[in-house]
Amino acid sequence: MIILITGASHTGKTVLAQRMLEKYKYPYLSVDHLKMGLIRSGNTKLTPLDDDKLTDYLWPIVREMIKTVIENEQDLIVEGCYIPYDWRKDLSEEYLSEIRFICLCMTDKYIDTHFDDIKQHGSDVENRNDDSDCTPEWIRSGNRSFINGFKKAGENIVLIDDDYNAVIEGLLNG
């Protein structure tokens, strides 16, 4: 089983992946770690700011890792924002039937009323050395892009609108 978690920055993808690792004992792959390994090793000229290009670059690698895990009847949580909206087109039904997809997004209302909490929890699992670009508008914009892109592709979105912990608990038990 693959649990594929995506969403905009600061939505709690890594926290959810960590909690799922603890509950299900599945290992997890952070696409951000893969990204930084490829960038730091010099295997790409892309930078952490090249979001769209990074999705195109990373997804074929992640997709083939997902297929390999499924073929070997293993379990893996894959977490990161570099999942294309139309990711399903690249996988046949034999693979898709083994993937639980979660797109975690926040509503504008939630961001506006909980921005201080969002910012405070930004380093709960991973250390964000520089979070100076994190503003309410930046988070709203990122979430709107994920909501619009994945909805247009026909995907279900898990919206955090009121109680973050209840949403996470629901995903852990769902």
**104: phi then psi, degrees, rounded to nearest 5:** -95, 120
pLDDT mean values, one per 10 residues, the chain (174 residues): 94 93 96 96 94 94 98 98 97 98 96 85 53 81 96 97 93 88
> Residue 121 has what pLDDT?
58
Return the closest-CA partner of residue 67 out of 43, 96, 41, 44: 96
> Residue 116 has what pLDDT?
84
Q: 110: how many CB neighbours lie within 10 A of its CB?
A: 23
Model-wide pTM > 0.75? yes
Residue at token pair 């083939």? 64
Question: Which residues, at least 6 apart from 51, have a Cβ–Cβ distance to it below 8 Å?
Answer: 81, 82
Q: How would you label 43-80 residue by residue, b for 16+ Cβ within 10 Å and e otherwise?
A: eeebeeeeeeebbebbbeebbebbbebbeeeebbbbbb
Distance (Å, whole) CA 50 – CA 93: 31
> Residue 69 has what pLDDT?
98
